[in-house]
Amino acid sequence: MDSDRAGSAPAERKLIAVQEVMAKDPRHARRAPAEWYESGAAYVIDRFVPLPEAGVPITDLGFNRGDAVYDVVSVSRGQFFRLADHQQRFAASCKRIRVTMPFSDERLTEILNQLVALTGWQDAYVWWGVTRGKTPMRSADRTDATRFTNRFFAYVLPYIFIADDERQQRGTNAVISTEYFRIPPTSVDPRAKNLLGLDFSLSLFEAGDRGAEWSVLTDGQGNITEAPGSNLFVVKDGTLATPVDWCLEGITRLSVMDLAAELGLPLEVRKVTAQELLDADEAFYTSSAGGIMPLHSVDGVVLGQRNATGPGPVGARLHDLYWEKRWAGWLGTPVDYSALG
């Protein structure tokens, strides 16, 4: 009989304390930032600026309509992770909403590298995006996507954790939103990573009202889609499953698929019902902002009816392998900290 399901309480699994490692291991220590960039760095349209001085023109449709796409790549131990995959996804996002990236992939890589180098951070959250720009003055031009001047923005912050070490170790308590469902793909294609996240924000407030820490959204037809800024996986009888549609094709999601194949774990990409999440042996959510993060309970139901808090065996194995491989250089692109321009 599985000791996680009955009998005496199982020994608590200990995950790699990623946040603590980043804070204390000298291999993650911040390098000296360039003058004026102690608080972060940004690129606004055509120039580098200190982060506190960055802003978006108030008439830009990215600001007043959320008409933009973006991407986020993380840096840890001085290496971008899966930078080419992020750039490829971003190019697809631009195409899907009909905006034009002003720079080549090579120039984008240079800008992102320089932003990180200016700050000296070896663990960083690197955001970039393209907005529609301002509305053309001639109304006849507003139906022609090529008549807009699209704008580029980017910035760098210290690495962001959706769930800190404490929450990672015990697992997040989530609820399935009953007040909101995910924006339908026929309205906005979720494969284009976009700024329209009000459904996520409101579902998080609903979760707080219900005494939970995170939310899960469905398609309104009983199938789970995403959690705010993150993809979802369920585990049942050793098999992983993740939603096939109504969700972003996440890069950390892709990494889990790669790691599952490496470990010989069966994985299905298909419709996943909310009931399957509630009946799962374990579940986790994934994001560049934190990696692989276990869920403890959903709607008050402890997943797998474990007798102790903490991650399940599959999620724990994937979590640790993800960070071990990343820190060993897996799919990494080293930051050139001498490239300050």
Distance between CA 51 and CA 163 in Å, rounded?
24
Helix (H, G, I), strand (E, B) or coil at 321: helix
pLDDT attached to residue 53: 97
At 155, give phi and psi (nearest 5°).
-155, 165
**Position with higher pLDDT, 137 vs 235:** 235
Residue with tokens 């499953």: 241
Angle between helices 313-327 and 251-263 (to 10 degrees): 110
> Among the residues of 179-331, which ranges form H helices?
198-209, 251-263, 274-279, 313-327
Q: What angle do CA 75, 212, 65 make, to 5 degrees?
A: 60
263-318 confidence digits (pLDDT tens): 999 999 999 999 999 999 999 999 999 999 999 999 999 998 655 667 899 999 99
Q: What angle do CA 98, 102, 104 make, to 5 degrees?
A: 110
Q: Is the pLDDT of residue 24 over 60?
A: yes
Q: Is the pLDDT of residue 92 over 90?
A: yes
**Considering the entire predicted model, what is its pTM?**
0.94
Query: How much of the chain, in percent, has pLDDT values that exceed 90?
Result: 91
Distance between CA 39 and CA 298 in Å, rounded?
37
pLDDT attached to residue 140: 84
At 56, give phi and psi (nearest 5°).
-110, 130
Contact predicate 173/296, CB 8 Å: yes
**Position with higher pLDDT, 261 vs 12:** 261
Contact predicate 15/170, CB 8 Å: no
Q: What mean pLDDT do residues 24-44 have?
A: 97
Q: What angle do CA 265, 320, 86 make, to 5 degrees?
A: 80
Q: What mean pLDDT do residues 42-58 have?
A: 97
pLDDT attached to residue 13: 78
Please provide the DSSP assignment of 258-281 as one string. Answer: HHHHHHT--EEEE--BHHHHHH-S
Q: What mean pLDDT do residues 140-156 have?
A: 95
Q: Is the pLDDT of residue 40 over 80?
A: yes
Please provide the DSSP assignment of 106-144 as one string. Answer: HHHHHHHHHHHHHHT-SSEEEEEEEE--BPPSSGGGGG-
Q: What mean pLDDT do residues 157-183 have?
A: 97
The first and second tokens of residue 119, run together, are 């700050």
Q: Is the pLDDT of residue 327 over 60?
A: yes
pLDDT attached to residue 339: 79
Q: Is the pLDDT of residue 9 over 50?
A: no
Nearest to 276 by CA among 295, 293, 257, 289: 295
CB burial string 271-304: b at 16+ within 10 A, e below? bbbbebbbebbbbbbbbbbbbbbbbbbbeeeebb
Average pLDDT of the residues of the chain: 94
Contact predicate 73/324, CB 8 Å: no
**Least confident interval from 4-8, 229-233, 304-308, 328-332:** 4-8
pLDDT attached to residue 2: 35
Nearest to 96 by CA among 187, 3, 10, 4: 187
Residue 258, exposed/middle/buried by CB under 10 A (0-12, 13-18, 19+)?
A: middle
